[in-house]
């Protein structure tokens, strides 16, 4: 499992890098999400956009508690942002999503940063 998710993460980072390099910052989050979706799909990956996720807590079920921006191969979660800088809440948000979905790894991709390297972060939830 660890090898597969790392391979998926590498492909996703490569796709994100090329989008940032070719397009640059300044578009709406939804535009980058669609570009990344198409780029990953062209690589032959199963990608889902805006996946509604339910939450079960304290005996209460909340349908559509949040939406996962991109879900790759039902293994890797990608949260897309387009802001000048990461806000600390963005990483916390993705970690919460990973915990609720019982996933080991997610990528926070901020296409608003000056460089893609500044904008991409790995968020780990009990991943080895």
The per-type count for the chain, helices as H runs and strands as E runs, is 4, 5
Checking DSSP bridges between strand 105-110 and strand 47-57, what pairing results, if any? unpaired
Averaged pLDDT score across all residues of the chain = 92
38-47, 50-59, 100-109, range with the lowest pLDDT? 50-59
Question: What residue segments make up the domains of the chain, in order of their start?
Answer: 2-82+93-124
Residue 106 has pLDDT above 60, yes or no: yes
Q: Please state, in angstroms and rounded to a whole number, the distance separating the CA atoms of residues 33 and 81.
A: 8
SS3 at position 50: strand
Instruction: Tell me the per-residue pLDDT of 109-124, one tens digit each, with 9 for 90 and over.
Output: 999 998 999 999 999 9
Q: What was the pLDDT predicted at 88?
A: 83
The model's confidence at residue 43, banded by pLDDT at 50, 70 and 90, is very high
Residues near 68 by Cβ (< 8 Å), separated by ≥ 6?
A: 48, 50, 51, 53, 77, 79, 97, 101
Mean pLDDT of the region 57-81: 94
């Amino acid at each position: 499992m660890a090898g597969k998710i790392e391979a998926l993460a590498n492909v996703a980072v490569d796709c994100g890098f090329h989008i940032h390099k070719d397009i640059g910052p300044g578009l709406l989050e939804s535009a980058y999400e669609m570009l990344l979706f198409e780029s990953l799909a062209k690589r032959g990956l199963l990608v889902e956009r805006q996946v509604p996720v339910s939450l079960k807590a304290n005996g209460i079920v909340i349908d559509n508690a949040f939406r996962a921006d991109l879900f790759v191969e039902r293994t890797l979660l990608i949260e897309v942002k387009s802001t000048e800088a990461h806000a600390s809440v963005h990483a916390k948000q993705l970690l919460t999503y990973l915990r609720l979905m019982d996933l080991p790894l997610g990528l926070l991709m901020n296409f608003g940063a000056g460089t893609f390297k500044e904008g991409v972060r790995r968020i780990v939830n009990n991943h080895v």
